[in-house]
């Protein structure tokens, strides 16, 4: 229930900001909003695996899930990479 609701809220919030600020998809601010919205959805997808690994005490799975989520979010946009 949390995943579909989270996706709907994320998409609605992104659309509301686009409408409120009268943004075009080509502006950097609009792209940053889309990247943040996409990262919110990725976090929602990763959260059940993280909770499952904590429940079953799979430390390796927990660390790999967190590392993969960070690596994917870090590599989405070249301007967001850590130096």
pLDDT digits (tens, 9 = 90+) for 41-69: 888 888 887 777 777 766 655 566 666 66
Q: Is the pLDDT higher at 2 or at 33?
A: 33
> Please, are residues 35 and 23 in contact by the beta-carbon 8 Å criterion?
no
> Domains in the chain: how many in total?
1
Q: Which domain holds residue 65?
A: 2-80
Specify the residue for token string 């996409």: 38
Q: How many Å apart are CA 36 and CA 73, to the nearest integer? A: 9
What is the pLDDT at residue 9?
92
The residue ranking higher by pLDDT, 60 or 26, is 26
Read off the DSSP letter of residue 79. Answer: G
The values of phi and psi at residue 25, to 5°, are -65, -15
Alpha carbons 33 and 26: distance in angstroms, whole number? 12
């Amino acid at each position: 229930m949390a995943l579909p609701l989270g996706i709907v809220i994320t998409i609605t919030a992104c659309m509301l900001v686009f409408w409120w600020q009268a943004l075009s998809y080509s502006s950097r601010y609009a792209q940053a909003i889309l990247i943040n919205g996409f990262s919110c959805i990725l976090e929602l997808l990763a959260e059940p695996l993280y909770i499952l690994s904590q429940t079953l005490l799979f430390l390796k799975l927990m660390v790999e899930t967190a590392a993969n989520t960070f690596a994917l979010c870090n590599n989405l946009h070249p301007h967001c990479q850590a130096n």
